Amino acid sequence: MTNHRRVVICSLGVPHPREGASLVIIYNFIEPLRRAGFDILHIVLLEGDSAAAGPALESYRTTVESPHYEIVTVTTRKFVDQGPRAHTIDLSGCSRAIERATKFRADLVIAFDIVPAWVAASIPSRRKLAWLGDLNFQTTYYHGLYGLQERPWRLLSFAKFWLAARNWRHVYAKVLADYDEVIVSAESSVAQIAGLGLRNHGYRPYPWPVDDPPSDPSPKPATPTFMFFGNLVGLGSRSALHFMVAEVYRRLIGLWGQGGFQILIAGRGHLPEWFSVAIADKPEFVRIGFVEDLPATLAGCHGVLVPIDVPVGNRTRVLYALSQGALVIAHANVALGNPALIDGETCALGHDGKSFVARMERAFADPDWSQRIGEAGRTAYMQLFHPGRAGADFLSRVEALLAPPQADT
């Protein structure tokens, strides 16, 4: 049955089925809307060199454009100017897209994250829905804090980060006040958004597609072997690398001795300079770069390390590891964003270096324990974050917003 209700979608960047964490999530949110038969106008915001996004945009057009799915692009050097007193947005290049969206007469506007929500605030519609990834005012603050830790003499730089974070809080409060519903990707963000005086918001799991785990995994190595993977320059990795050097490494040396264990570090990009210097005399950290067959590599480890102690976000690397049935060993703060993480049930959580290493020790010594928790973690992923489940949940939120208001009885 065809459904011709009209939806405007606004996103920063080109949604993609496999590349870019937030873009993958957005792609898998949009898919159930396409299949449901809405008339969709998608405003794709592009920053910087638009030519770089050309191939991805053309591929996306080929995949989704139809009589019921129209794409309009907006390109600018930078949408947001972060000033010391206030952040401002450049809408000068958006007039054509906003005019088209106004004529579209949308029943619902869906904005994926704060910059699209800021742009879409100018688009008239009956209802508005915003989905938020990591909150900019949190990530900005913590990046500044780690910068100060790495270079203590740059106190003025931290002050700039603090001011930028404060100004982002003002943006979120002002922009989201006009939205009917705000969905946050991390449960820890619920309190943060409530602290801005906003009320109509809540946490929902998001869709994350993965490959199936190997049906016949390789046996674990005789040496305790763990993997750390992900975006090596993002806030999560920055936090985790600091925690491993400061809180975990020396305890592992005390437990297994020099050369008695391995921590495989996988991911695109270069290691941060400070971390490369810190591990120059620590051969137990093994840089393996981009891994072609991540499921098989994970299956050959005793656990996946997620020692992220910043209370921000709901990490896709965790979802990937859960989906593979791998034992996730995480800092307890990771569970603040993802309530599916329960110590001893779906993962192993440590609140400090000592308890974190204790869980690594058990992961190596007790394979039955590791397997049981890994299997429960995969079940949690399938029930909450599999695209079929999380996508259907998102569609139900859209349907609820579009439903006619109930008459008082």
Q: In the 3-class helix/strand/coil scheme, how is 92-116 assigned residue by residue?
A: CCCHHHHHHHHHHCEEEEEEECHHH
* pLDDT tens-place string over residues 252-281: 999 999 999 999 999 887 888 889 999 999
**pLDDT tens-digit profile of 58-91?**
999 999 999 999 999 999 999 999 999 999 999 9
- Give pLDDT tens digits for 85-108: 999 999 999 999 999 999 999 999
Kindly indicate the confidence band of residue 200, based on its pLDDT and cuts at 50, 70 and 90.
Answer: confident
pLDDT above 90 for 249: yes
Instruction: Give the pLDDT score at 407.
Output: 54
Higher pLDDT, 403 or 251: 251
CB 41 within 8 A of CB 11: no
Per-residue pLDDT at 52: 66
Residue 77 backbone dihedrals phi, psi, to 5 degrees? -65, -45
- Residue 212 — left, alpha, or beta (φ > 0 → left; ψ -120 to 50 → alpha)? beta
pLDDT at 154: 76
Average pLDDT in the chain: 93
**C-alpha span between 16 and 59 (Å, rounded):** 9
User: Is pLDDT at 390 greater than 90 in this prediction?
Assistant: yes
pTM, full prediction? 0.93
What does the block give as tokens for 289?
């770069």
Residue 216 has pLDDT above 90, yes or no: no
Give the residue-averaged pLDDT of 100-124. 97
Q: How confident is the model at residue 404 (pLDDT cuts 50, 70, 90)?
A: confident
Q: Pick 153 or 121 by higher pLDDT.
A: 121
For residue 95, with 0-12 CB atoms within 10 Å meaning exposed, 13-18 middle and 19 or more buried, which class applies?
A: exposed
For the cut 80, the answer to whether the pLDDT of residue 295 exceeds it is yes
Over residues 16-41, mean pLDDT: 94
* Residue of 390 and 269 predicted with greater confidence: 390
